[in-house]
Amino acid sequence: MRIKVNKSACTGCRLCRQICTIYHFDEINPRKAALRIEAKFPDPGTFRPWVCTQCGKCAEACPEGAITEKGGIYYVNEDKCTGCNDCIEACPFDVMFVHEDVPYPIKCDYCWKCTEVCNTGALIRVD
């Protein structure tokens, strides 16, 4: 399973970012969302969602073994994470990051909430 991105369908509403933080952090704070929306300027109204592809580069880079794979999805073990941020530097899509309120790197865990609220078809769950 994966999240298919249909970039031409994204309207930039950012509901995906809101539901991500509501689900994972019980708050609306898009700065903590595990996906990003790139606004393409100077073309008004053109947006590009970026989500984790579960490529595993973060796990390969982690010297502590704090990122493990289960069922094709990579998870950060916050108890093992030392905050070195090697995983963030290794992410080829710039979708892993640190937020000052969270003591470990944030990455998508394919909870699928973004695909459930995306009403334009920009983010689709595919098997």
Predicted local confidence at residue 44, as pLDDT: 75
State residue 43's pLDDT score: 72
pLDDT tens string 33-92: 999 999 988 777 799 999 999 999 999 999 999 999 999 999 999 999 999 999 999 999
CATH T-level fold of 52-107: Alpha-Beta Plaits (3.30.70)
Alpha-carbon gap, residue 40 to 54, rounded angstroms: 24
Residue 41: per-residue pLDDT: 80
Asked if residue 40 lies in contact with residue 46, where contact means CB atoms within 8 angstroms, the answer is yes
Contacts of 31 (CB under 8 A, 6+ apart): 99
pLDDT tens, position by position, 14-32: 999 999 999 999 999 999 9
CATH 3.30.70.20-classified regions of the chain = 52-107
Q: Do you find a cis peptide bond into 105, omega within 30 degrees of 0?
A: no
What is the mean pLDDT of the segment spanning 101-115?
96
